[in-house]
């Protein structure tokens, strides 16, 4: 979450050069195991390499990640396999717990009135509750804390929405806590089981009395309105001159209004929507992660608006510019 500006940007730029030209044996093994054959980007680090390194500590022992990073050629592949396995386990726990948490929220009639999301189940895996908190924000968009039981106390992982200091809100409940720490966007905390209900209500009171109601409605900042005909290889190459992208230098978000389905849009994977759309005879494809519920809107024969970022998809040696759809209306 550190901003990719200043010295961070310099370090990221040269770090990517190192990853692409001469990675350590451990990272090379992880790259090969996950079939990263094109130039590695910050997105690959954030969504593919980073989570696998991080999964070691979440699911078992962080020393597995250290062994990968310092390993020599003969051991690198086996260490990479271990991290991949931990990441698969992490995904399974993540999916199961997220579904359980969503079910709890959907069956709680009071949740719609709340400005917070606070949930507890004693057998949820401690290593993934922070990820689950982030996923619930994608749906409910509330300051969120997910608790599980660990060594006789309740351990919680908190995630915030942009503009709200969740650490300060937790600090206001400190008399009910055993330990806590973090920053504006994320925090960790522990409390005694008998204090959970009191904390849940106090946290709701604190957030309700201090949060700006406008923060509870998600917004997407659009950097420019363009037509599909504007999206050319030259245009995409110019965009990439602003890379590496990340906090403080996010990938530009574009909007195109009045687009139509080509009749080929469909659901792919578990919950994703593959777009095949057009405007003024210019066509473009893309993917909307976890947007399968929007298929009916796409297919109802009326024009709709999209906002998206652009990425390059490479398949069988052929490159194609695609949308990563953020929202539809």
**pLDDT at residue 1 in the model:** 67
CA contacts within 13 A on the Cβ side of 320: 12
pLDDT at 276 over 90: yes
pLDDT at 242 over 70: yes
Cα 106 from chain centroid?
A: 22
Domain that holds residue 149: 108-216
Min mean pLDDT across 119-123, 138-142, 257-261 is at 138-142
Same domain, 278 and 299: yes
Chosen domain end from 106, 139, 165: 106
- How many other CB atoms are there within 10 angstroms of residue 106's CB atom? 10
**pLDDT at residue 247 in the model:** 85
Q: What is the pLDDT of residues 298-320, one digit of tens each?
A: 998 899 999 999 998 877 778 89
Indicate the average pLDDT of the chain: 93
Chosen domain end from 85, 106, 127: 106
Helices 25-33 & 63-70, crossing angle to 10 degrees? 110
CATH at 316 = 2.40.50.460
Mean pLDDT of 174-180: 97
What's the pTM?
0.82
Tokens in use for 19? 């990853």
Total structural domains within the chain: 3
């Amino acid at each position: 979450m550190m901003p990719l500006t200043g010295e961070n940007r310099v370090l990221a730029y040269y770090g990517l050069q190192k990853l692409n030209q001469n990675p350590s044996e451990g990272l090379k093994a992880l790259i090969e195991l996950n079939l990263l054959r094109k130039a590695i980007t910050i997105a690959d680090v954030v969504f593919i390499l980073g989570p696998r390194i991080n999964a070691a500590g979440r699911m078992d022992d962080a020393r597995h990640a250290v062994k990968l990073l310092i390993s020599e050629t003969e051991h690198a592949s086996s260490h990479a396999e271990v991290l991949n396995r931990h990441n698969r386990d992490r995904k399974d726990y993540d999916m199961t717990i997220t579904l359980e948490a969503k079910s709890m929220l959907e069956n709680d009639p009071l949740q719609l009135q709340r400005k917070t999301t606070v949930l507890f189940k004693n057998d949820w895996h401690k290593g993934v509750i922070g990820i689950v908190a982030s996923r619930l924000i994608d749906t409910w968009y509330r300051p969120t804390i997910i608790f599980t039981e660990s060594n006789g106390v309740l351990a919680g992982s908190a995630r915030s929405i942009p503009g709200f200091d969740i650490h300060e809100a937790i600090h206001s409940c400190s008399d009910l806590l055993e330990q806590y720490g973090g920053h504006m966007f994320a925090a960790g905390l522990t409390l005694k089981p008998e204090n959970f209900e009191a904390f849940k209500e106090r946290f709701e009171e604190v957030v309700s009395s201090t949060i700006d109601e406008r923060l509870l409605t998600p917004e997407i900042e659009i950097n420019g309105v363009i037509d599909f005909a504007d999206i050319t290889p030259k245009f995409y190459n110019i965009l990439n001159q602003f890379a590496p992208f990340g906090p403080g230098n996010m990938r530009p978000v574009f909007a195109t209004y009045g687009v139509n389905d080509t009749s080929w849009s469909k659901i792919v994977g578990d919950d994703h929507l593959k777009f095949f759309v057009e405007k003024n005879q210019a066509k473009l494809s893309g993917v909307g992660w976890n947007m399968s519920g929007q298929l009916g809107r796409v297919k109802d024969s009326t024009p709709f608006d999209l906002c998206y970022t652009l990425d390059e998809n490479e398949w069988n040696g052929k490159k194609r510019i695609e949308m990563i759809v953020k929202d539809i209306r």
